[in-house]
Structure 1
Amino acid sequence: MPEAVARPGTVPLARRRLLDSLGPLLREWLPRQRWFAGKGRPITGFELVSATDLLPPGSPQGLIHLLVRVKQPPASAEPPAPRSSDCYQLLIGVHQALPRHLAPALIGHARTGPLSGQTLYEALHDPRLADVLLEALRSRARIGSLCFEHDSETELPAKLPPRVLGAEQSNSSLIYGESYILKLLRRVVEGVNPDLELPLVLARDGCRQVPAPAAWFLADGSAGRGHATETSVLGVMTPFLSGAEGAWELALDALAARRPFTEEAHGLGRATGAVHASLGRALPTVTLGRAQLAVLARAMTDRLDGAAEVVPALREFAPRLRTAFTELGALDPAELAWSAQRVHGDLHLGQCLRQRSGEWSVIDFEGEPARPLAERRLPQPPVRDVAGMLRSFDYAARTLPRTAAQEHAAGPGGSVSDMGSGSAGEDPAAAGPDSSWYAEWAEDCRAAYCAGYAEVAGRDPRADPVLLRAYETDKAVYEVVYESRNRPDWVSVPMAAVRRLAAAAGPR
């Protein structure tokens, strides 16, 4: 890890002084970014992990790659236990005066420190600076602690025009020439990241449902701070599926047109089954015994207890929700048809694309970023992914009527974010006469998805209701916490599932 970073026309900047320029600006800019995980908590300081200049001296502008640890007080009782600091990947453009077309990318004007007088901005929006990343991947460059690689059978073309993917997400993506998409991981952790690990494994196994990585880049931990640390994955490039349609958008279109989505759900089930079958062949599996089931049940119970502390609306339902986990811990392993294996870890409609050919592709194997990396890489029952997709059908069915009702209430120009949601226990899909149609739509999708999955995997998730209910409950609890932190006016959507799952448990 380099001890200094050079800016064009200057002597190398001492690493410890770089934050004199960046710190005041990042305190204001970071909390406004969609991918910043520490919203709602004050930033108390920064630690510069690495700083690498990706442009040579004499260039008319600068491009600084940063890994910055952001220090914040932990949130109280929030599951999983939050870290007091997260490491973020930043690409900072440095210019004397920012061109007008880059004004939306402005971070700020440095007033102190070694970058004083310079304009700093989000470099991904600058085509020239985005091209620097492509060229580094093409040439398999090593710059400071950064290692750029590409697949030996892939020849990346030069000068592919870049553009930033506009969709909101927990990372950032660049599309190059409608041929490739480079996903840059914003929150960086040391170790083997499943977002690169699993697609490489699936590519070697010949799995057609997952785009194979074409290139990637890493931070080599062995180069820094005087002691060996683990390598961190920073970015993964895959073929861009031009013309592909997102499953989430397709589902909402179907709901808006009041037509079934069962054919698509069936295909998604088959694609999920194929991915699980490939992972089960390529990587070790673990038998689920009593001890493993007890560990799963205990972890789910702990997450529920922590969530009830964060979201008071959960407390009245917690005793009945807890029975789902108690039953899981008491389950006879001989009754299960499942073993534990590597899974996607965060599967939902937003992680699936339908190609022009009609085939489904599954993307984004990072898992839930809030969970520790070691946990994300543990073998899990494949039902965990199935439960995530079943919850996603329910989300879609409850999102459309809720959004339509809010837009009507807000009037022309109103937005969902401006509207309150009323009681956290209110069911948004129960407000109108069509509520039963939306509920039936979701149930039909769930049945079609499980049937498609069973055709490929050879086992129907519905045949293990205790396991499936436990994972659906765990996912709904996670969603309640997520929405309470990020979109409080949407808490009612997963709370409707909480009520349904609690009611299924019967009286206390």
Structure 2
Amino acid sequence: MAPPDHSLVRLLAGWLPRQRWFGGKDGPIDELSIGTATELRTGDPGLHHLILDVRQNGATDRYQVLLGVRRDLPERLESHLIGRLAGGRGIAGHVYDAAYDPELTGPLLTSMANETLVGPLRFRRAPGTGIRTDLEGVPIGVEQSNTSLVFGDAYICKLFRRLSPGINPDLEVNLALSREGCAHIPAVYGWIELEPGAGIAWDGTGDEPVTLALLSEFLRTATDGWQLALTSVRDWFAQPALPMTGPAPGPAPAPTARDAGAAGGDFAAEAERLGAATAQVHRDLAAAFGVAQAPAAELREAVFAMHEHLDQVSAAVPEIRPHARAIRAVFDQVAAEARTLPVQRVHGDYHLGQVLRTDAGWVLLDFEGEPARTPAERRAPAHPLRDVAGMLRSFEYAARFLLARDGDLHPDTAEALETRARAWAERNREAFCAGYAAAGGPDPAEHAALVRAFEFDKAVYEIRYEARNRPSWLPVPLRSLARLAPG
């Protein structure tokens, strides 16, 4: 591919901030350049692989784009248009996001099946597997920080949009768990990587390739954990009258966790099974990567980092400030009681949107870690209860999501539904923790202060993320903090 002219750079700079997966929406782009440009298919349509260097506020992030080029753009691709180029030193025609063009995504399977090397791009196939090459990729139509393509009923390919140096933790962990025979992950079929020394200065990678995409088993009949939980909450909210749990006569008491279990679509049994699956994955992670003992000083350093994190978010998001004192009190308790703790590889961004319910049980996805964390933070060993706390936060999210979505409710209605949300969250939190402990995980009840500190740190992260990316969701974590850390 010839060096793109400056008009392509200008088009990309205007298009990139509008993408859901772009992580720099809170500030202007200072400079954008094309780090690598690899032609994957000639002709019309043509396909080019780009890595963009995006400089903002003194830091450079790198993003992956599949660039399609067509002389005439079909109507079905108009919403993915980046712009039109007249030619010159670069390319001519309509340029667009080729992740949405099945004619151009299908060849990715052929390249992985054949383990093709194109310029700095290496297409890899997992040992002992075969890959079908007669399927076209169609993106999943949900909000994600990456772009996932589904190929028939066989595969799902995750394109990592914002690139991290080195081997992506999602690939690293899934391959390791596969070797352990873990029953709670999808099979890995292939991946795409950027070879070392591709002309980009990646800090800290050494001789490691950079992971660009991961091809895994597509669990066609599976159900998303978040949707299952929301269905349960919706059923609970729709109950016309709550069962009486107190003595009669007199006013009906507030609904309790027991009442939530009496409603249709009760989720508690699934929450307990999910807890057990989580404990098993943690055991497999420990076997694959080992367990270390972190001294008390290391835990105190982690608490100090939690305080700094809270300081940063409090400065940027005023809504969290009424809860800061209660959050800090829990952080300080953990620091005061610090002792040596076992640490290991964990999921790192664990919530209901990262799990699927299949006919055989729960499956865990996306071991990439939290998008806003550095690569080193994503790989760092942690206490497994950090994942437990992440899932407990997710139950709080599910319980209150419908309240935030429905917007302006009558105060009496909002108060009644908040009471029901609290009961639903309490029931499923308890069930998940019971399943986790029964399956051999460290009992959350015996580490209550640590779990709560992890929960609050996660809530602070959520509030920063929502304020930056989904402001309409900000009331969701704030509502739960109002209960867990009242001002």
Indicate the residue corresponding to 1:256 in structure 2.
234
Whether the 8 Å CA contact 1:137–1:216 is kept in 2: the answer is: yes
TM-aligned CA deviation for residue 374 of structure 1: 0.8
Q: Which residue pairs with 2:455 in the alignment?
A: 472
Deviation at 1:433, TM superposition (A): 2.2
Q: Which runs of 5+ in 1 are unaligned?
A: 6-12, 75-83, 410-427
* Preserved contact between residue 149 and residue 158 of structure 2 (Cα < 8 Å): yes
Residue range with higher mean Cα deviation, 367-376 or 224-233? 224-233
The CA deviation string for residues 243-267 of structure 1, in whole angstroms up to 9 with x for no partner, is 1100100111111112321011111
SS at match of 2:290: coil
| Deviation for aligned residue 1:495 | 1.6
Q: Match for residue 355 of structure 2? A: 352
SS where residue 118 of structure 1 aligns?
strand
CA distance in 1, matches of 2:207, 2:163: 13
| CA displacement 1:328-358 (0-9 Å, x = unmatched) | 1121426xxx511000000000000011x15
Moved over 3 A (4+): 225-230
Amino acid across the alignment from 1:28: G
Map 1:104-503 → 2, pairs under 5 A: 104-111=79-86, 113-115=88-90, 117-224=92-199, 230-258=208-236, 259=264, 260-333=266-339, 338-355=341-358, 357-406=359-408, 431-503=414-486
State the partner residue of 1:416.
Answer: none
- The Cα offsets for residues 402-440 of structure 1, whole Å up to 9 and x where unpaired, read as 32354x79xxxxxxxxxxxxxxxxxx9982323322211
SS at match of 1:339: strand
Q: Which of 57, 64, 69 is the equivalent residue of 1:73?
A: 57
State the shift of 1:494 in Å.
Answer: 1.2
Q: Which amino acid aligns with 1:395?
A: Y
Q: Deviations over 1:12-31 (max 9, x none)?
A: x13xxx15132121122111
Distance 1:380 1:429, change over 3 A: farther
Q: One-letter code of the match for 2:476?
A: V
> Aligned in 2, Cα 1:353/1:34: closer, same or farther, shift over 3 Å?
same
| In structure 2, distance between residues paired with 1:237 and 1:231 | 17
- Mind listing any 5+ residue stretches in structure 2 that lack a counterpart? 237-263
Tell me by how many angstroms 1:500 deviates: 2.8
Give the TM-score normalised by the residue count of structure 1. 0.86
- Of all paired residues, the percent bearing the same amino acid is 42
How far 1:112 moved relative to its partner? 6.4
State the 1:229 CA deviation.
5.9
Q: Which amino acid aligns with 1:385?
A: D
Q: Distance in 2 between matches of 1:451 and 1:113?
A: 65
Moved more, 235-244 or 490-499: 490-499
What is the one-letter code of the residue matched to 1:438? A
Q: How many residues align?
A: 456
CA RMSD of aligned residues (A): 2.1
Query: Are 1:19 and 1:48, in contact at CA under 8 Å, matched by a contact in 2?
Result: no
SS at match of 1:457: coil
Q: Is the 8 A contact 1:286 1:341 kept in 2?
A: yes
- In the TM superposition, what is the alpha-carbon distance from 1:225 to its structure 2 partner? 5.5
SS at match of 1:459: coil
- Structure-2 separation of matches of 1:450 and 1:461: 6
What is the distance in 2 between the residues matched to 1:225 and 1:301? 35
3-state SS, counterpart of residue 28 of structure 1: helix
State the TM-score, normalizing by the size of structure 2. Answer: 0.89
| Residues 128-154 of structure 1: per-residue CA shift (max 9 Å, x gap) | 211121111111000000011111211
Tell me, what secondary structure is at the counterpart of 1:464?
Answer: helix
Aligned mates of 1:213, 1:429 — CA distance in 2: 50
Q: In the TM superposition, what is the alpha-carbon distance from 1:116 to its structure 2 partner? A: 5.6
CA distances 1:461-508 after superposition (whole Å, capped 9, x unpaired): 1210111011011011111111111222322221223333334xxx9x
Offset at residue 111 of structure 1 (A): 4.4
Report the AA paired with residue 197 of structure 1.
Answer: E
Worse overlay, 364-373 or 94-103? 94-103
C-alpha separation in 1, matches of 2:68 and 2:366: 27
311-320 or 288-297, larger mean C-alpha shift: 311-320
d(CA) in 2 for partners of 1:164 and 1:486? 21
Residue type at the aligned position of 1:469: R
The code of the aligned residue for 2:440 comes to: A
